[in-house]
Structure 1
Amino acid sequence: MTLLRRYRLRSIFFAAVVALGITIFWLAPAADAAELCGRADTINIADKRYVVMNNVWGARTLQCLTVAGDGRFEVAHSEHAKSTGSAAAYPTIYQGCHWGNCTVGSGLPIQVGKLRSARSSWAVSTEGVPGRWNATYDLWFHTDANAHRSPDGAELMVWLDRAGGAEPGGVLVARDVVLAGTTWDVYHADWHWSYVAYVRTSPTAEVRDLDLAVFTRDAVGRGYLERRWYLSGVEAGFEIWQGGSGLAARSFQVDVNL
């Protein structure tokens, strides 16, 4: 992924956000919205407690997001048409650091071995959206506490839903692994970093109080992640190969605890 630095803002009203520690609660949507159409466009939400980014990193085709003042976003327009290879884009909201662009007050990075929990609730709208895409968490890990650079440790994905034949990278290494009260297929690859993806066998558009630390512990046990490394960012969004117009993030919350 590319470093995302700039954002374009059309008149936006920031809704009140209540934050305790690094937990984020989304309130009522703002009356106006920002539009992000540049490949690297980002917008800071709630004094940069988190960031929404357009993140068209794997293609040159147009994509536009509308972003409410509380951070809810929708893929308003997509011209992506990739059938193979890497995704065209990953529009997302994140907390922590993404290629050196860090949010404020997140408490990240946190050493994996000291991570007690990383509980998240996330709701998306995907029904009837055409194309090839997924709805996924993307967790990034650095080998040390310096997160103001590209990740060099691991990438851990948690796929909740997918369409159009979307598949993770790497190879399938385990089926029907029971984690967080349901089953997942596990994929792994060794790239410039260690890649592991957990694909939910029963797709869902919403999770509540999902402990992402459960997946980090499983990845440590499989040898794909090291306890001495640092969780540096928690992202939630949509990998898009084709189509994707209408995909929307309706709410998001994450609470990382030592």
Structure 2
Amino acid sequence: MQLLTLSLFSALFAGAFASETITGQWTCVDAGDYQLCQNLWGEDNGTGSQNATLVSADGDTISWSTTYTWSEGQYDVKSYSNVNQLDASGMTLGEITSAPTTWNWEYESISSDTVADVSYDIWIGTSASDPGTSTSTFEVMIWVSTEGGAGPLGSEIASDISVGGYSWNLYEGFNTYWQTVSFVTNQGNINDFSSDLKDYFNYLIDNYNMTNSMYLQSVEAGTEPFVGTATLLTNSYTVTVNT
């Protein structure tokens, strides 16, 4: 009976992960289908600290929080604490039939001077390689929140467009290797986001120079703080790429 009880307990909780807090510039922790990373890539542009906590992960659902305090460099992003879906890469956009995602999040606390966004960061390129490299052609961002006047790279190229069930302003900017296209909410914070990423790919294929032969390299979701103090809690997040 004891062995049976232990086996049942193990089966029930085989996919669950215990809470864990990470610190450090590049620290990551794997949790089921996801990887949670600190990613303090711009910390030299200011003064402060940050940590990320894996709250829980079970199957295709993950919960985490990010706590930060940043000052100086008001116009510089300090980090992108995020989760990466480990299976959402390697397929062409034409092979993707749907990519449903949900994201329920909230600020547990936020200072009045905080400048930050809450966003997806999706990498698309000419080969199925690592994101943010010379093979990356597009960085597609979906901003479900903007605080304190935070704005994306580049300039606005379209306004009040309807994609994936929401209204956006579209921005375009260029980096060394890739083009950054940002869908920025114009309807306030979207705390309970539910959409299909395939709709955003289709929009860019129909209206810009994205093609079905390009590869999905990564799907990430997190926050970019510029300055301020906040704790951002994701109650639940899911993303699945179907082919």
Tell me by how many angstroms 1:205 deviates: 0.8
The residue type paired with residue 65 of structure 1 is A
After superposition, residues 125-204 of structure 1 pair within 5 angstroms as 125-126=106-107, 129-130=110-111, 131-147=114-130, 150=133, 151-191=135-175, 192-202=177-187, 203-204=189-190
Match of 2:214 among 226, 229, 235: 229
Tell me by how many angstroms 1:45 deviates: 0.5
Instruction: Specify whether residues 238 and 148 from structure 1 end up closer, same or farther in structure 2 by C-alpha distance, changes over 3 A only.
Output: closer
Whose strand proportion is higher, 1 or 2? Answer: 2
Relative contact order higher in (CA < 8 Å, ≥ 6 apart): 2
Instruction: Specify whether residues 217 and 17 from structure 1 end up closer, same or farther in structure 2 by C-alpha distance, changes over 3 A only.
Output: farther
Q: Which residue of 2 aligns with 1:248?
A: 233
Q: Does 1:207 align with 2:193?
A: yes
Q: Which residue of 1 aligns with 2:52?
A: 65
**Structure 1 stretches (4+) deviating beyond 4 angstroms?**
none
Q: Which residue of 2 aligns with 1:11?
A: none
Larger Rg: 2
8 A contact 1:109–1:230 mirrored in 2: yes
Indicate the SS of the match to 2:204.
Answer: helix
The residue type paired with residue 72 of structure 1 is S
The residue type paired with residue 213 of structure 2 is R
Tell me by how many angstroms 1:39 deviates: 0.7
Whose helix proportion is higher, 1 or 2? Answer: 2
Q: Does 1:44 align with 2:30?
A: yes
Indicate the SS of the match to 1:215.
Answer: helix
Name the stretch that deviates more: 226-235 or 157-166. Answer: 226-235
The residue type paired with residue 35 of structure 1 is T
Indicate the SS of the match to 1:184.
Answer: strand
Tell me by how many angstroms 1:76 deviates: 2.9
The residue type paired with residue 247 of structure 1 is L
Give a deviation string over 1:42-92, Cα, whole Å, max 9, x none.
Answer: 00102xx2100011101234211222242422223423443113x111111
Give a deviation string over 1:169-224, Cα, whole Å, max 9, x none.
Answer: 1110000001122211000112220110001111211113x101111111122224
Q: Which residue of 2 aligns with 1:220?
A: 205
1: CA distance, partners of 2:88 / 2:149 = 36
Indicate the SS of the match to 1:256.
Answer: coil
Q: Which residue of 2 aligns with 1:114?
A: 95
8 A contact 1:123–1:252 mirrored in 2: yes
Match of 2:224 among 223, 239, 244: 239
Aligned residues: 220
8 A contact 2:88–2:240 mirrored in 1: no
Give the TM-score taking structure 2 as reference length. Answer: 0.83
Instruction: Specify whether residues 207 and 37 from structure 1 end up closer, same or farther in structure 2 by C-alpha distance, changes over 3 A only.
Output: same
Give a deviation string over 1:21-50, Cα, whole Å, max 9, x none.
Answer: xxxxxx7x84xx32211010100102xx21
Q: Which residue of 2 aligns with 1:75?
A: 66
Instruction: Specify whether residues 183 and 157 from structure 1 end up closer, same or farther in structure 2 by C-alpha distance, changes over 3 A only.
Output: same
Tell me by how many angstroms 1:141 deviates: 1.1
Tell me by how many angstroms 1:117 deviates: 1.2
Indicate the SS of the match to 1:213.
Answer: helix
2: CA distance, partners of 1:64 / 1:129 = 15
1: CA distance, partners of 2:153 / 2:107 = 22
CA-atom RMSD in angstroms: 2.2
Tell me by how many angstroms 1:140 deviates: 0.6
